[in-house]
Amino acid sequence: MAIDPKLLEIIACPKCKGRLESKPDDSALVCRACRLVFPIVDEIPNLIAEDAQPLTD
């Protein structure tokens, strides 16, 4: 299930307060500024900075 675009407009990275983007497969949210990936589990974004993974291109 895709993340609602309106939700992406209002949520922010918990670390830098930057913009979050949805991964193409909707499995996670990405902060390009911090280079962190926040997983989406059972359609709920996990925005705990300590649980985020580094972004690998």
Domain parsing of the chain, residue ranges: 5-54
CA atoms of 43 and 38, how far apart (whole Å): 12
Q: 3-state class of 49 per DSSP?
A: helix
User: 5 is written with which tokens?
Assistant: 């675009």
- What integer pLDDT is reported at residue 2 of this predicted model? 81
The correct CATH number of 5-54 out of 3.40.50.1780, 1.10.10.10, 2.20.25.10, 2.40.420.20 is 2.20.25.10
Confidence (pTM): 0.89
CB 43 within 8 A of CB 29: no
For 16-38, the pLDDT digits (tens) are: 999 999 999 999 999 999 999 99
Predicted pLDDT of residue 16: 97
pLDDT of residue 51: 95
What pLDDT was estimated at residue 57?
Answer: 73
